[in-house]
């Protein structure tokens, strides 16, 4: 059987071809019209959309998000349900939904990014990603790393959470020390201020901030975690040695042993208590002092990521993305909702009081919502160029996710801070990295 009769004129159009071409044209033009009108297609009407997301650190954002999702559902005839759970529970929930082949349609991933583990059962969102990017001037450079697998996109990056320098200008001025624009300046300031009862602290414990903060320091020192392919760990380097040496000095001179017990919120409390000279944390730490300790709030300033010895600045942030299960029967509605969410990217940033940093270039243009009009926060607008995620300069791979889950990098800094030799520590760390890399099937 052949598809075409051999004696047919190639320019001749059959009835079937005509119908097919006309249908495609009609569907395309309808989609374009609907997108232009920001109206959802009729086929999503009557469907149910279940969204699993985290409990945001800014509760007002959750209130807005739930209302926003509900209103979108009402407008488009979609029954929307939003479930919030603590972000640490998301991996277990995701595993359970995968095993059951049922659950939510849209899933949130924050801090622990599981795109590469689940990509075979996640809906391919490349078209949606491209469509959104095209509309809003493209995505910032770091956006693809957490959601891209083998050239396809399996998640829509919605925002990332920055950890800038939060420093006490009053204490710095009183002690006559320079602002913490470089890691060395930060060290000198904290050393001076520790003697006056104002040490600093970075978590040397098992928590996500430890993973983020020590990576920022390492990468700003010119170090890296993997090569550009993400296949090979690159932690046995001169830069890693320098970073570890600096980390040890920072602990000895500027911190107290409290940092060994800290969780993600301990440094917030440290700042709010008025003791910390500076911390390297999300701006929620600064925001909360507005009500808990107004004097600290007034004197706390936000700094750009401190530069390493070579002037390099890399800010390791926590990415947040939404994914859609392939088994979801409501993929069309899910994609429509995600497009609508990103259409309101600026509003989301406003509702989060500037906590959510934008992945879209147009939203990231100066002046950004909220932070662009706040003198202290304006510096955050310079971060999109220096943002990186775990695995830098390579992609955010499954291997790196396990390295982060087991806190291997912060443990290296912890070992050195506790007195273990740098060579011995690197040998241990490299062994852990290599073991994890060797055992994982590359996604």
Partner 1 sequence: MSSTFQAGDPETGVRVAVPLAALPRSGAWFRSQSARRLGFGYALLAPAALYVTLLVAVPFLFSLYLAVSDATVGEQMAGFIGLENFKAALEMDSFWVALRNSVVFFVGAAVLKSLLGTSLAFLLLQEFRGKKLVRALVVIPFTLPVAISVLGWKWMYDSQFSVFNWVLSRLGLIGTYGTDAWPVWLGDPRLALVACILVNVWRTFPFSAIVLLAGFTSVPNEVLDAAKVDGCSFLQRFHNIVVPMIFPILMVGFLFDTVFTLSDLSVVYILTQGGPGNATQILPVLAYQIGIQAGNLGRGAAIALFLVPLLAPAMFVFLRNLKRREY
Instruction: Determine the 3-state secondary structure of 60 from DSSP.
Output: helix
Nearest to 104 by CA among 117, 123, 120, 125: 123
Closer to partner 1 by CB, 98 or 159: give it: 98
Least distance to partner 1, CB of residue 111, Å: 10
Give the sign of the dihedral formed by CA 185, CA 186, CA 192, CA 193. Answer: positive
Least distance to partner 1, CB of residue 141, Å: 26
Closer to partner 1 by CB, 353 or 425: give it: 425
Which tokens in the block code for residue 219?
């990468």
Instruction: Determine the 3-state secondary structure of 184 from DSSP.
Output: helix
DSSP character at residue 371: G
Least distance to partner 1, CB of residue 439, Å: 6
Least distance to partner 1, CB of residue 402, Å: 4
What residues have CB less than 8 Å from 270, skipping those under 6 apart?
A: 201, 258, 276, 279
Least distance to partner 1, CB of residue 269, Å: 6
Closer to partner 1 by CB, 27 or 92: give it: 92
How far is 416 from 180, CA to CA, in rounded Å? Answer: 23
Closer to partner 1 by CB, 126 or 420: give it: 420
* Interstrand relation of 106-110 and 318-324 (parallel, antiparallel or unpaired): antiparallel
The helix (run of H) or strand (run of E) holding residue 245 is helix 238-254
Closer to partner 1 by CB, 262 or 278: give it: 262
Instruction: Enumerate binding residues for partner 1 (CB under 8 A).
Output: 91-92, 94-95, 98, 112, 114, 117-121, 197, 204-207, 256-263, 266, 269-270, 273, 275, 398, 401-402, 405-407, 411, 414-415, 418, 428, 431-432, 435, 439-441
Closer to partner 1 by CB, 262 or 322: give it: 262
Place of tokens 């391919």: 124
Least distance to partner 1, CB of residue 63, Å: 23
Which tokens in the block code for residue 203?
């978590």
């Amino acid at each position: 059987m052949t598809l075409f009769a051999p004696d047919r004129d190639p320019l001749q159009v059959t009835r079937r071809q005509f119908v097919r071409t006309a249908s495609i044209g009609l569907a395309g033009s309808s989609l374009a019209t609907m997108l232009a009108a920001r109206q959802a297609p009729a086929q999503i009407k009557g469907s149910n959309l279940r969204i699993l997301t985290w409990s945001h650190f800014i509760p007002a954002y959750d209130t807005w998000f739930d209302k926003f999702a509900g209103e979108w559902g009402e407008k488009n005839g979609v029954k929307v349900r939003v479930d919030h759970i603590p972000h640490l529970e998301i991996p277990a929930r995701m595993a359970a939904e995968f095993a059951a082949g049922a659950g939510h349609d849209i899933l949130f991933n924050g801090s622990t990014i599981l795109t590469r583990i689940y990509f075979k059962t996640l809906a391919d969102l490349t078209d949606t990603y491209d469509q959104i990017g095209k509309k809003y001037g493209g995505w910032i450079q770091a956006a693809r790393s957490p959601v891209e697998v083998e050239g396809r996109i399996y998640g829509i990056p919605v925002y990332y959470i920055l950890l800038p320098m939060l420093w006490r200008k009053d204490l710095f001025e009183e002690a006559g020390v320079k602002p913490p624009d470089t890691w060395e300046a930060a060290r000198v300031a904290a050393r001076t201020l520790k003697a006056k009862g104002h040490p600093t602290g970075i978590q040397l414990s098992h928590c996500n901030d430890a993973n983020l903060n020590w990576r920022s320091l390492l990468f700003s020192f010119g170090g890296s975690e993997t090569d550009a392919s993400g296949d090979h760990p690159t932690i046995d380097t001169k830069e890693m040695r320098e970073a570890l040496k600096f980390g040890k000095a920072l602990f000895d001179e500027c911190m107290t042993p409290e940092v060994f017990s800290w969780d993600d919120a301990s440094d917030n409390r440290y700042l709010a208590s008025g003791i910390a000279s500076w911390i390297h944390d999300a701006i929620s730490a600064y925001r909360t002092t507005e009500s808990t300790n107004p004097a600290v709030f007034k004197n706390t300033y936000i700094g750009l990521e401190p530069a390493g010895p070579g002037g390099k600045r890399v800010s390791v942030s926590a990415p947040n993305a939404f994914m859609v299960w392939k088994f979801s029967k409501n993929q069309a509605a899910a994609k429509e909702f995600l497009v609508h969410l990103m259409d309101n990217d600026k509003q989301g940033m406003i509702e989060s009081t500037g906590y959510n940093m934008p992945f879209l270039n147009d939203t990231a243009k100066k002046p950004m919502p909220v932070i662009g009009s706040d003198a202290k926060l304006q510096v955050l607008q310079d971060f999109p160029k220096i943002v990186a995620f775990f695995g830098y300069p390579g992609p955010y791979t499954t291997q790196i996710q396990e390295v982060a889950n087991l806190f291997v990098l912060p443990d290296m800094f912890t070992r050195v801070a506790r007195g273990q030799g740098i060579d011995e520590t690197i040998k241990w760390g490299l062994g852990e990295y290599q073991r994890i890399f060797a055992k994982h099937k590359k996604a």
